Structure 1
Amino acid sequence: METSSPQRTDGPLRSTLVGFGLALLGLVAAEFVTLPAFLLDPTLLESPGDASNAAIFVLLTLNFVGFFLVGGLYLRYTGRGWDWLDLEWPSRQGWIYVGIGIIGSIAFVMVVNLVATALQLPSSENQVMTLIGDDPNMVLLMIVIVFLFNAPAEEFLFRNVIQKRLYAGFSRIGAVVVTSAIFALVHIPAYALAADGSFAPLGAIGVSLAVVFGGSLIFGYLYARTDNLLVPTAAHAAFNAIQFAILYLVLRFAPEELEMAMALGGGLVAALPL
């Protein structure tokens, strides 16, 4: 599919500010739309790991609705409309790009973890893992969330809205890099604060942000090459689903190996914005 031309030509600064503002609005909206989950089970406020599976599922699902909301409102009020979406069933070449994206993402995370291990960098806490705990059933629910909400919402807002909007001020590769930088920057608060309210080690924050930035580069490149939102979405969803599937197998058949599995694949759910 050929990308629609931007409605205006902006400089890099304006385009970046618009993109960053949309990302922040997406995260703020996510906080507001998750409120029903806390009403469903107030345990989420004090002890998230002890909340019911239903409440956790609702929380994680609604968390991504905010992204759809902000992206949709932006398209509506800027006059772009739904014609701005680059959606079509991937061609044979498109599916090849999906496969490249999956393999590239797994390889990248493995390299980051090897470097982090070699440098003895600490691992950061993950809020999603706190919610999942050691319940295999919640891991299966996460696979559903990844395919129906996580990957579609993030790729819609950060690729088909923000990255495509940045084409007005940057080259395509430049837009991929800037979008990835925005994606990483808005995640700093999530990784800077540990579960107990203390500040996480800088090394742990750096490892998490490297995973987020690198993953966004890969998926952004897929979108820039294909002009088809379904390509990065499929790669993103499959990548996360594979990692959760491995986690499910560990929890179900070898729970004693959980710590080692998480050490080897510490970045597998790093990009989930909670």
Structure 2
Amino acid sequence: METPSHSEPRDGAPLRSTFVAIGLTVFGLLMSEFAMLPAFLVDPALLDVVANGSLGDASIGGRTLLLILNFVGMALAGVIYLFATDRGLSWIDFRVPTRTDWKYLIGGSVGVIVFLYAISILFMVLDVPAAESQVMDIIGENQTMILIMIFIVFFFNAPAEEFLFRNVIQKRLYAGFNRMQAVLVTSTIFALVHLPMYLIAETMIATLASLTIMFGGSIIFGYLYAKTDNLLVPTAAHAVLNAFQFTMLYLAIEFGIDEAGTAPSLLFEAVATIPL
């Protein structure tokens, strides 16, 4: 099914579209939780670890399986919705990138990294802290887990989140909003989904700072999808960003950069914004 052109007027109900988007988000979260259940059967020790709130103490295999199933469940929610509404797999905008797509992909990948570090510097200048997410707990002190996370973000994290939030939710919002409005609504929902990850922050300012970074990144990914109608473009940009963050973290730990001045602050604040 083709998406409307950029100039085509929308006659859908904005409120209805928004409620559908929120419902899809909740459904995606529930499916993620349900999909992770087999991981606890494979590695029963995960139950105790999760109950104690220290996932970093679990085995690498257990953590890896848990994360992969989490994102598989999220993607499955989008697929179920497409078939339940008779949209089918033809609704998925996935194709070999054109020359224009490549321009947006490269520009978006560079742009989102620049945005991340520019806003991190701004927060440092203003002495605004960024809340640390569950990512650091998942990684623990194991550098091998960081390398595994790079694999996960390329093949599971970015594809699942971009498919659900861009190709399903944002595209569904086109029925009630113009494209840029749909990007804003989707990004607001995307940021709020990550609110529980940052509520552990010491201050509300830290939580809002991290959500602002999450919102800004989502705006960029949503814009890339709105301009190209190719899911591969925001997915690749998302994966490049997350892989870059984990690579910087790996290098920081490997070479002891975390013991230096301002560099580690930028590194770890950036990693704290990785969506999981």
TM-score by structure 1 length? 0.91
CA contact (8 A) 1:191 1:200 kept: no
1:85-107 Cα distance to aligned partner (Å, 9 max, x none): 11101012211111111111111
1:132-183 Cα distance to aligned partner (Å, 9 max, x none): 0221111110000001100000000000000000000000111111110111
Distance in 2 (alpha carbons) for counterparts of 1:140 and 1:200: 29
Which residue does 1:68 correspond to in 2? 75
Q: Give the deviation of 1:44 after TM superposition.
A: 2.7
Written as runs of structure 1 = structure 2, the 5 A alignment for 1:1-274 is: 3=3, 9-39=11-41, 40=43, 41-42=45-46, 43-45=48-50, 46=52, 47-192=54-199, 194=200, 200-254=202-256, 256-257=258-259, 261-265=263-267, 266-273=269-276
User: Is the partner of 2:239 in helix, strand or coil?
Assistant: helix
Distance in 1 (alpha carbons) for counterparts of 2:22 and 2:263: 34
Distance in 2 (alpha carbons) for counterparts of 1:52 and 1:214: 34
Query: More deviation in 36-45 or 231-240?
Result: 36-45
* Gap regions ≥5 residues in structure 2: none
Q: Give the deviation of 1:262 after TM superposition.
A: 4.4
Distance in 1 (alpha carbons) for counterparts of 2:25 and 2:93: 19
Letter of the 1:191 counterpart? Y
CA contact (8 A) 2:2 2:91 kept: no
Letter of the 1:216 counterpart? S
Query: More deviation in 108-117 or 219-228?
Result: 108-117
Letter of the 2:49 counterpart? L
Distance in 2 (alpha carbons) for counterparts of 1:178 and 1:271: 20
Distance in 2 (alpha carbons) for counterparts of 1:77 and 1:88: 23
Query: More deviation in 158-167 or 50-59?
Result: 50-59
Q: Give the superposed CA RMSD.
A: 2.2
Letter of the 1:124 counterpart? A
Letter of the 1:257 counterpart? E
Distance in 2 (alpha carbons) for counterparts of 1:233 and 1:258: 33
Distance in 2 (alpha carbons) for counterparts of 1:231 and 1:264: 26
Distance in 2 (alpha carbons) for counterparts of 1:258 and 1:62: 37
CA contact (8 A) 2:162 2:235 kept: yes
Distance in 2 (alpha carbons) for counterparts of 1:156 and 1:259: 38
Q: Give the deviation of 1:258 after TM superposition.
A: 7.9
Letter of the 2:275 counterpart? L
CA contact (8 A) 1:86 1:227 kept: yes
Distance in 1 (alpha carbons) for counterparts of 2:12 and 2:87: 16
CA contact (8 A) 2:139 2:145 kept: yes
User: Is the partner of 1:267 in helix, strand or coil?
Assistant: helix
1:39-66 Cα distance to aligned partner (Å, 9 max, x none): 4133432232211111111111111112
Letter of the 1:44 counterpart? V
1:73-118 Cα distance to aligned partner (Å, 9 max, x none): 1000000000001110101221111111111111111122122212
CA contact (8 A) 1:223 1:232 kept: yes
Distance in 2 (alpha carbons) for counterparts of 1:10 and 1:259: 52
CA contact (8 A) 2:112 2:220 kept: yes
Q: Quote the sequence identity (%).
A: 52
Letter of the 1:3 counterpart? T
CA contact (8 A) 1:2 1:227 kept: no
Q: Give the deviation of 1:231 after TM superposition.
A: 0.6
